Amino acid sequence: MVYLLIIFLIIALDQYTKKIVCDNLELEEKREIKNTNIMFWHKKNTGISYSSFSAYPKQITIITGVIATISFFIFMFLLPIKGIKIIKTGFAFMIGGSIGNLIDRFRNNCVTDFIYIKCKHTPIFNLADVFVVLGGTIMFISSICKKN
């Protein structure tokens, strides 16, 4: 199944990049990519986007775990259905990213974030976050562009 491979690859890539960051940057250390507005900034986030609800890391782990589990079961139900490749791809991206962050939450009670784009009110994020947003965007665009 290509979609299960996509999930596995996203998880592996996410965990690998987080390991590189943890091995090469001290916590709170920043490294700017020259001539860009992009920076690697090693942060730990016990909350969700913009560190929201950071006082409740265990509850966030439980809630995100339940959501990821439900999403995975819906995804498994969709796998045998033909003709919805884009939906399955979006789901695979979202699930891979969700599991990548969930691994961090179970292992460290927080998520390693490290990508920062210097722009007003921009959160620090990681590759798992990129895939969750990309998967959701794919599914949203697919749903509004669907021919009836």
- Whole-number CA gyration radius for the chain: 16
φ/ψ bin of 97: left (φ > 0), alpha (ψ from -120 to 50), beta (otherwise): alpha
* Catalytic residue IDs: 113, 129
Distance of CA 19 to the CA centre of its chain: 15
Q: What are the structure tokens assigned to 141, written together?
A: 């665009």
Q: Are 100 and 128 in contact (CB under 8 A)?
A: yes
Helix/strand/coil percentages in the chain, nearest 5 = 60, 15, 25
Residue 95 burial class via C-beta count within 10 angstroms: exposed 0-12, middle 13-18, buried 19 and up: buried
